[in-house]
Amino acid sequence: MPEIVMREAIKMGLEEALENDPNVLILGEDIGAYGGAYAVTDGFLKKFGPERIKDTPISEATFIGTGIGAASAGLRPIIELMSISFSLVGFDQIVNMAANLRYMSGGQIHVPMVIRAPTGAGVQLAATHSQSVETWLAEVPGLYCVCPSNPKDALGLLRTSIKSNNPVIFAEPALLYGLKGDVPEDYYEIPLGSASVSKEGKDITLLSYGAGMSVINDTEKILSSKNISAEIIDLRSLNPIDYKTIGKSIKKTNHLLALDTARKNGGIMGEVVSNIQEDFNDWLDGPIIRVGAKDVPWPYNKNLEGAAYPSAENIVNTILEKLIKV
């Protein structure tokens, strides 16, 4: 299959689900007549009709919760949020309702629902539209939480997310909707909770997810030009976390750098490296390095936003300084 962009890969996954399962429907603001804030659902209203492509009022708490109710009665709703920052308006429904219903009912109810939302900074939307709320939601038992970094993973993860019998947070890096990549022609799925090794190497493991992977790829190129061989891991799933794949890599490279494009303080990598430290300390030949965005509200100004966002150059310098003294 020719290269497609991330937006098309997600659209493909949604379309396929709508075609194959009459219980799938999409709820969200301006997903129908308008075609979606990021044009992911463009054309769906015409193709699938207003019963399945449901434009909602601007009431996040209510349409997220409506999805939960519909899911607990046997439908498979997909919720689109215009921004994951807006999930905060419906946070109670996601955290207290969707995640807890099964447990509180002693397993009587399940909630097969996907919440899709653009996430992250880097597109100059300032503090209210640039949060990476997937890192907050990744802590919640009862939810799954994934974030793809390329079209192939987006399609593969979306397929398993929609098929899952549990609520899944599907975070789509806002920066990457136009990112191109190959997507296999044959049907495939990517299991939730599986990280991927996107490049093998022997000197250091570079770990990130979502938009962070672009930064990591740039980092690897610079390191490679300095004859440092980096292995790249894409976490892909923030809950559950694939410690097996990360651990295996560390046994090989004995060094780890973990990157969040969310704020470093509270970023998911804090959790990841603390567990790695506990379980793989004997295999580490130096301190784990964590890099993240600056601990500030996201500024609008391009230069300021850039200064808060992690860069490959800085990462390389940190690695050279702290780890591999050349």
Q: Which of 59, 128, 274, 281 binds another protein (CB under 8 A)?
A: 59
Interface with another protein in residues 152-171 (CB under 8 A)? 160, 163-166
| DSSP annotation of 97 | I
CA R_g for the chain: 20
Tell whether residue 45 is a contact of another protein (CB under 8 A): no
Give the residue among 52, 169, 75 at the shortest CA–CA distance from 116.
169
Long-range contacts of 304-309 (CB under 8 A, 24+ apart): 305/121, 305/122, 305/124, 308/121, 309/121, 309/122, 309/261
User: How many other CB atoms are found less than 10 A from the CB of residue 312?
Assistant: 18
205, 250 contact by CB (below 8 A): yes
User: For residue 89, with 0-12 CB atoms within 10 Å meaning exposed, 13-18 middle and 19 or more buried, which class applies?
Assistant: middle
Active site residue 278: no
Interface with another protein in residues 83-112 (CB under 8 A)? 92-93, 96-97, 101-110
Site string for another protein, 109-148 (x = CB under 8 A): xx------------------------------xx-x----
Q: Residue 84 or 192: which CB sits closer to another protein? A: 192
Smallest distance from another protein to CB 50, Å: 10
Cα distances (Å, whole numbers) of residue 211 to 50, 103, 170, 188:
33, 33, 14, 23
| Residue 19, SS3 per DSSP | helix
Give the angle 64-268-251 at the CA atoms, nearest 5°: 135
Q: Looking at 8, 29, 80, 129, which residue is catalytic?
A: 129
Total binding residues toward another protein, as defined by CB under 8 A: 45
Smallest distance from another protein to CB 59, Å: 4
Active site residue 110: no
245, 197 contact by CB (below 8 A): yes
Q: Residue 140 or 175: which CB sits closer to another protein? A: 140
Give the residue among 160, 193, 151, 165 at the shortest CA–CA distance from 40.
151
Q: Residue 187 or 282: which CB sits closer to another protein? A: 187
Q: How far does CA 212 lie from the centroid of its chain?
A: 10
Q: Residue 33 or 307: which CB sits closer to another protein? A: 33
Distance in angstroms (rounded) separating the CA atoms of residues 262 and 225? 27
Q: Looking at 8, 29, 60, 134, which residue is catalytic?
A: 60
Q: Residue 2 or 106: which CB sits closer to another protein? A: 106
Q: Which of 15, 66, 311, 322 binds another protein (CB under 8 A)?
A: 66
Tell whether residue 229 is a contact of another protein (CB under 8 A): no
Smallest distance from another protein to CB 194, Å: 13
First-to-last C-alpha distance (Å) of the chain: 43
Tell whether residue 64 is a contact of another protein (CB under 8 A): yes
Q: Residue 60 or 172: which CB sits closer to another protein? A: 60
Smallest distance from another protein to CB 104, Å: 4
- Which positions are catalytic? 60, 129
> Which spans of this chain sit near another protein (rule: CB under 8 A)?
25, 51, 54, 56-57, 59, 61-75, 77, 92-93, 96-97, 101-110, 141-142, 144, 160, 163-166, 192
